[in-house]
Structure 1
């Protein structure tokens, strides 16, 4: 048995970027081959695409985790790593994407609509791309960025022109079944319909869709009886049709009271897509009232009593019988006319075009704020500094020096000085915390040392290679002198005659 799922929570993880390669070209008779490490490939995106062949979110219910493919690392010989394959997830038309805070981030209406749910990580640069006049053979490469991770909620809101609302067992499913080719479940007990049913209706040359929304009860706008689950399917409907049961035997119910109760719920519900679709609140949508089950004599008499009162509100009233197929033609053409009027007020659809949105390359903005957890500490926030931190190999002194140069050129050091930072202050960028040392010279003025090293990263009390060589020679001389003294050797050669 098929299931209808219209709300799911998914976890999407884009692919990680591949690491750059640190390599030096080695070939016979070419001692100065230079760096030839390639760049890492970008991680694959996770993309949502509207597919007209998909009608439910059932696949995401069983497989809520989606992960993109990682980019391949770079290799020597200037070989760049391959980009990761993007993961395309088909979603039904009318899907709304919300973030973990409940804010709408995408409203996917129309075939082919796309949304990047998670951005793949950038690939790291190899040492060939990092070579400069100051660093002719860098002994490091940049790491690939991790892919974006997001927790999203997908909600399916039915895309229909007419929405049928009414109490349970009012005959909405029966009406959809006789107006269209849809075959919803029909039974003689309340809440038979638990999921919306869509039907395509033809009236002359007009074609429109009708949504059978599950029955509403007082308190639906507050979630009673799964009311919020049902009401959201009315957000996109341009016309609302009240289906009233004129043959109900429940005490305290009559067509007027049923309409008033549902109108109160519609007025209390605030559509999340109000600003996006310009349809306004549900209380201001065009109305039509359908008095159903008039094939029963008592129901027909009750319809005679209430028809005039409903007409005074300015709403068209139609008396039908879904079972006896009575009054359906007049209702169908009236709905087609209302839908036609609505469509005439909307802008004509424009053929979908490819939109190119180039990314800005001069985003130098960053902020320096005091660290509330560390006295005298600071936190640097910004897309570029945090990205550089993620790309740095902190076990490589030359890579750390390169990071210091980038931060200095960006103006982070000047900003720290202006904010009162002192030498040794704790500075946090991203997930890394370090002790700040001001006045770090840029890479162009730093004397080059061995590959993978940086003179600025060396501790002042560290003994250099030359000093260690001298110390070893002195220790050897001292050991020789001590051995001579112990043997009584005075250092003079004996005479031949002795």
Structure 2
């Protein structure tokens, strides 16, 4: 298996909240000790964090299922459960987080964090549920489940200079000659299948160069893994065309190779809404240590000069012309950095829920059949222990105070209506009885019971 993976599907599950505890204080000579059940702990979050020492998504390819810690249940004597541990997943700089609905986050900058899945809230113990009317509740609330997501992590190489060209144009030889990178070099196409990064220092400027795998005609439409290769140049501020002056393939020459590559970049920009046309270009004629290649370079030099493109003739094998090229790339990088503000780590914007928004809605599904949608009813359903009558009665009171009973009447519900509350896949079904009083608080009876449900 390759040691480089730049796209994975990750299945994450945040921790579930711990259940609250229903307990009554028992102590000698204190017959009415009162409720002392503690709250459950919060479930752990799943957090993505940019770490510069992480260069690939390979670990998530091998283990795509990740889960944060659950909150501990509450205990008697007012002891709350411990919070579940957060799960922090390190990702490379430049990782894009996507779902079926689009892009969630673009993580750039060391230490940038993104809360991917939030842990469930812990359930309240009966001590927290006690009121003047319900002095000793015989129930507690259950912890809420943590969020679950299936997301795609896509890594886009973060580099200053991107080397682009046909297969076997000498890009890997060039990055090996100007930096300490040691990519695989061989005399056959697509030797490089993953981007190689190298750090280059020229004068006072230090910059990162990316050796992008070779491109072929049709790369912008995915031919030859073109989509996987082209996305790694989206963040490069300078594009360097490495053109092979010694190729023996019929119909190829540096000018036609340049035009084909530019056409692929333009097509990719149009389909992926990326502006590559405005980025500075540098043209490099490689392999001029071959006599025929040097002659060809002399022929095409005026053509590129007419187009106003900076041109450098080099030999990655003999290192001829590399010093001038590295200083030219450094100058272009320094100029680009000066024209843009220093990039800062991604700022996560929290947008509170708008005040006055509707807490729920009642939707008619058919003849005397209704669904109650909304965040509050859905959460309350998850918190309720349906094996405890008093807990079910507490739920009915909460829904009535929220206005669900009134909304059902206005929607045309009559006695015996089938009411579904919760998500479509795990709804709880009630037979609605408007004659049963709700919303008035606790009624008399032993702990854990409710006379309305008898």
2:394–2:442 CA contact under 8 A, matched in 1: no
Number of residue pairs aligned between Structure 1 and Structure 2: 450
* Contact 1:232–1:271 (8 Å) recurs in 2: no
Question: Aligned pair 1:70/2:70, yes or no?
Answer: yes
1:445 deviation in Å? 5.4
Deviation at 1:282, TM superposition (A): 2.0
Q: Establish whether residue 300 from structure 1 lines up as the match of residue 299 from structure 2.
A: no
Q: Which residue of 1 is the match for residue 359 of structure 2?
A: 366
Residue aligning to 2:389: 397
Contact kept, 8 Å, 1:428 with 1:434, in 2: the verdict is yes
Residue 427 of structure 1, aligned match among 419, 426, 432: 419
Q: In the aligned structure 1, how far is the partner of 2:441 from the partner of 2:194?
A: 70
Structure 1 CA distance, aligned partners of 2:346 and 2:198? 30
Distance 1:439 1:361, change over 3 A: farther
* Deviation by residue 1:315-367 (Cα, 9 ceiling, x = unmatched): 211111111211112211111111112111222345x6997959669786334
CA contact (8 A) 1:167 1:244 kept: yes
> Could you tell me which residue of structure 1 aligns to residue 89 of structure 2?
89
Alpha-carbon distance in structure 2 between the residues aligned to 1:75 and 1:415: 38
Q: 1:337 to 1:138 in 2, by over 3 A?
A: same
Q: Deviations over 1:67-99 (max 9, x none)?
A: 111111011111111111111111111111112
Q: Which has the higher contact order (CA 8 A, sep 6+)?
A: 2
User: RMSD value over aligned CA atoms?
Assistant: 2.3
1:240 and 1:296 map into 2 onto residues whose CA distance is: 25
The 1:39–1:6 alpha-carbon spacing in structure 2 relative to 1, beyond 3 Å, is same
1:377 aligns to 2:369 (yes or no): yes
Q: 1:319 aligns with which of 285, 308, 313?
A: 313
Contact 1:408 1:440 in 2 (8 A): no
Q: Any idea what SS the aligned residue of 1:269 has? A: helix
Shift of 1:102: 5.9
Q: Residues 293 and 358 (structure 1 numbering): CA distance in 2 closer, same or farther, change over 3 Å?
A: closer
Shift of 1:292: 0.9
Maintained 8 Å contact 2:14/2:67:
yes
Distance 1:361 1:40, change over 3 A: farther
Q: Give 1:456 shift.
A: 2.2
Q: Output the TM-score relative to the length of structure 2.
A: 0.93
CA contact (8 A) 2:12 2:150 kept: yes
* Native 8 Å contact 1:160 1:211 kept in 2: yes
Q: CA deviation at 1:386?
A: 0.5
- For the residues of structure 2 that align with 1:213 and 1:34, how far apart are their CA atoms? 70
Q: CA separation in 1, counterparts of 2:312 and 2:348?
A: 47
Q: Is 2:114–2:348's contact at 8 Å kept on the other side of the alignment? A: no
Aligned to 1:24: 24
In 2: Cα distance, 1:62 partner to 1:363 partner:
46
CA distance in structure 2 between the aligned counterparts of 1:440 and 1:106, rounded to whole angstroms: 48
Structure 1 distance, partners of 2:351, 2:39, is: 21
Q: Residues 25-424 of structure 1 correspond to what in structure 2 (within 5 A)?
A: 25-99=25-99, 101=100, 103-270=102-269, 280-349=274-343, 365-372=358-365, 374-424=366-416
Structure 1 residues 132, 156: closer, same or farther in 2, change over 3 A?
Answer: same
Gaps of 5+ in 1: 275-279, 459-498
Query: Aligned partners of 2:333, 2:399: CA distance in 1, in Å?
Result: 60
Are residues 1:448 and 2:444 paired?
yes
Deviation of 1:179 (Å)? 1.1
Q: Contact 2:220 / 2:227 at 8 angstroms: preserved in 1?
A: yes
Query: TM-score scaled to structure 1, two decimals?
Result: 0.85
